[in-house]
Every structure is written in structure tokens, then in C-alpha cells.
Amino acid sequence: MDFDPETTLSLAGQDLDDTFNSVVPPLYQSAIFQFEDVGETKGYDYTRSGNPTRTALEDTLADLDGGTGAVACATGMAAVSTVTSLFDADAHLICAHDCYGGTERLFSHLAERGTLAVSYEDLSDRNALADAVRPETEALWVETPSNPLLRIVDLEALSDFADTHDLLLIVDNTFLSPLLQRPLDYGADLVVYSTTKYLNGHSDVVGGAIIARTEALADRLDFTANAHGTVAAPFDSWLVLRGAKTLPVRLRQHETNARAIAHFLNDHPAVGRVCYPGLSGHPGHEIARTQQNGYGGMVSFFVDPEQVDVRAFLGSTEVFALAESLGGVESLIEHPATMSHASMAPDQRDEAGITDNLVRLSVGIESTDDLRRDLDRSLTAAGPETSSTERQHTSIPPVEA
């Protein structure tokens, strides 16, 4: 029987326990499983190669995204690393120029070692995209919405381009989750997640996942993840599965709050451009409205540096915690240039538009009024009248998360 995503998540893992019929999926915290006989098992032998709890999570994620199979990984970057292991040694990859800093850091590391060549392009520029293709190009790496500028690209158009040039289309869908966007429906071959974010939603575990459109790709991912040992642990898988059960209700409140905050910031005199695809003035709004089922809980914006000291602002919020990551129930504020994208070269950040006055919000599920008041008070407190002495405690050293 086919269920809506809300029901799929509510029932996820419920059929694992044949012994006691527990409603909550059991945690199989076992590294090994006993053989029935030589060469015979009940489907599991060693947890790196397979574990019932992890399988429950993988089956649920594959079902949500409309894929044929999935691999749950130890971290989001383990998922990215597993995908890169599918490429040939001399492969070339075309990546969104404003991708997540950790993705760029890994790709640059592999490029420096000579195991992967990468071109960073504005994926909405079809001419630049066509010029970037080489004989050894194997894939397009896409983020839509992108991190941190929430740029939107047309997945169907990119799928047509990838098919024309015999490329894999890989989409990092972390910002939206499969409930708000299903890239496989628009021709993507692989979908990548940091399950740390919305899928888990409680900031208490790190994880990643890869969803495959075809059985052949799913088989390659299974082999690669097992060979490299990048798979998720049973307890981590159980936590993500538990968190995902409340994803539908969490996402509704995330988006309700994010819409309100985006409109508030859009009208604020100390704020310049607001990046939120749910705003009608966002350049990708129409595409997002077509290929997404919602606009999510991420909002980025540029403060006016003549009116607001960005570091004072970041250090003065009370509800928004100054922290890395995103997608949890709590609201977070971060400075991409010195936090999530600190590892990017300054000229690459500038080219992507990640300037020092850019702020990224992960809008949580708190009271909308409290969130709005917190930002309003903090923007005012960080204004020109704030003394340099009062700002000393807000210094933010660069980190590479």
C-alpha cells in the first residue's frame, strides 16, 4: 500500500521486531550476527556491511525520495566522500560555485592530490556550463537552494544538460529534505543529505545519506560505502530515524517562522538583500515554486555595514544561537565567511558572493514573535551608537567546520 510521506515516516521501522511487535523500532547495537550455517545468514553478518537499524533508515529515505536504494553514512561529508569514490581517477566534476564550504574543501583537497579535477560555475549560466564540460567530465554537483545564498537552479534543465553530455546529476538536498523537494523526480541520479540537519532535526547526531535513482548506482554505493567503511553506526541510524518521524510537523513550523523572518528582514532599514526563495522578489522564486513543495527554514541576508556592525550583531542575539550547522529545532545564526565557508579561498568566496556582511539563519520552531524581536533588538544594539568597548567580546575567529 502506498502512503503519504507523513504516514511513511510515522510507520518507519515498525516492522523490525517480529519477536515482541514493538511499535518503536528496536536498536540493533550489535557489531556481529551469528551465522545459521556455513555461508548462511539471516541477512546480516557484520554491521559495517549491513545492520537492521540502518537498513530501516535507508529503506525509509529511499522511499521518501523515490529512489531504488540508499546508503546511510557516518556524516554528511562521509556521504560526499563516498560519492566521489564512484568517479574515475582522472575524472572532472562541475560544481556550483556557491556550494557548502566543507564540500569545496574536500573537492579542493582531492584536486590538490590529483585525484579529482573540479570547475566551479554558476550553474544557471548555460553558456558557462557548456564551456566547462571536458571529455573527462563525469558529473554535475548541484545545491538548490545553495548554501549559503539560497540560489535556485532549474533541476529539469540541468537534467537535460546532464543527459546530453552523459553526466551524472548529483543534488545536495540538505536544505529542503525529501518532503519539500525530490530531485530524482526531475532527473537527478543521486541525492545527497547531511542527515544531521532537518532529517534528524535535534542537533544530537551527525550523519549523511545518499539516495540512488537506479539499482546499478545503488549497488555501486553499497559496495563503495562498505569498502571505505563510511557507513552510519546503528545508534546514529536509530536517532536519525526517530528524528525523521517528526519531520513533517517540524518543517511546517520552520517554514512558517522563516517566511515571517524573511518578510521582517526584507522591510528592515538596516538590512540589504534578503535571500529566501519564498519571497516573490527572489530571482529563483518561480523555479522554486515549480520544483519545490515549500521554501524551507533557511534565510540569509546582507546587513548594511554602515548601519550594523555584523560581529556585534552576531554576538548579541539571545534566541538565535551563534553556532554552526542548521535544521535543528533551535534557531541558529552564523557568519559564513568565518564559519561554514571559512576554508574557501577569499577570492572564491568573493566570486560566489559570500561577503563579510552576509549572515545565515537556520530558523527554528520557537515563537515567531520572539524570533522577530530578537533580531530587531540585536540589529538595533549593533548600530553605530554601540561603542567599540561593547563590541570587543563579539570577535569571531575563523573556524573550519
CA 231/CA 75 separation, integer angstroms: 8
Active site residue 134: no
The C-alpha atoms of residue 369 and residue 316 are separated, in whole angstroms, by 17
> CA-CA distance, 108 to 131, in Å (whole number)?
21
Q: Is 172 among the residues known to form the active site?
A: yes
What's the sign of the alpha-carbon dihedral 269, 273, 279, 283? Answer: positive
Selecting among 17, 44, 48, 377, the annotated active-site residue is: 48
154 is catalytic: no
Which three cell numbers, joined as nine digits, stand for 132?
Answer: 566547462
Dihedral angle, C-alpha 270, 272, 276, 277, nearest 10 °: 140
Q: What would the 3-class secondary structure string for 305-371 be?
A: CCCCCHHHHHCCCCCCEECCCCCCCCCEEECCCCCCCCCCCHHHHHHHCCCCCEEEEECCCCCHHHH
In the set 172, 189, 222, 309, the catalytic residue is 172
SS3 221: helix
Q: How far apart are CA 248 and CA 237, in angstroms?
A: 19
Q: Which of 54, 151, 182, 197 is catalytic?
A: 197
Amino acid at 304: D
Active site residue 42: no
* Type of residue numbered 382: A
Stretch (H or E) spanning 156:
helix 155-164
**Grid cell digits, residue 74:** 557516518
Q: Which of the following is catalytic: 28, 100, 193, 198?
A: 100
Catalytic positions: 48, 100, 172, 197
